[in-house]
Amino acid sequence: MQGPSNGMQGRIRRANIDIPAGETADNRSDIQTLFAGLPEPIDIAIDAKKQKLYWTDRGNVTFGNTLNSVDISTHLNLTATPQPPSENTILAWKFQEPVGVSLDTFAQTAFVSDLGGSVYTVSLNSDVDGKHEKKVLLDGLGWLTGLVYVNPLLKGL
């Protein structure tokens, strides 16, 4: 849920695929808030093997215009109050309104598109200083929204 522009009301939630018996989409009881107080979360991607959640977040406040990640196997304590973003979740920042995120889990790379017309690569592995390399892959493409990366080596699998 995005919330208003720069409103710090964005949330990331989860629910079961199947609606619990006797409930409807409007009154289901299995929705859990994982993160709250986000600037403007837009797109998400999951690395199921490594149990990591990635998301882009727009907004020009401290935690906006970023690519974020969290380990969902150990980080989430759903009995506690949902947490806002922190410097610990940010992999890369200074995008121009990032929208799309897609993963190449084999190459440990994220692809991010933004409304500034660029597509970036961000290394999912940090260097010794904890930084994640961010590079411009394509530029000047006009407003970009979502994107999907398909590994050509996996064709036919």
Domain-by-domain residue ranges, the chain? 10-15+29-154
pLDDT value for 5:
63
Mapping DSSP to helix (H, G, I), strand (E, B) and coil, where does residue 55 land?
strand
pLDDT value for 35:
81
pLDDT value for 118:
96
pLDDT value for 79:
53
pLDDT above 70 coverage of the chain, percent: 81
pLDDT value for 132:
93
Dist. CA 106–CA 93, nearest whole Å: 23
For 33, the token pair is 């808030």
- What is the CATH code of the structural domain delimited by 10-15+29-154? 2.120.10.30
pLDDT < 70: residue spans in the chain: 1-9, 60-63, 75-86, 154-157
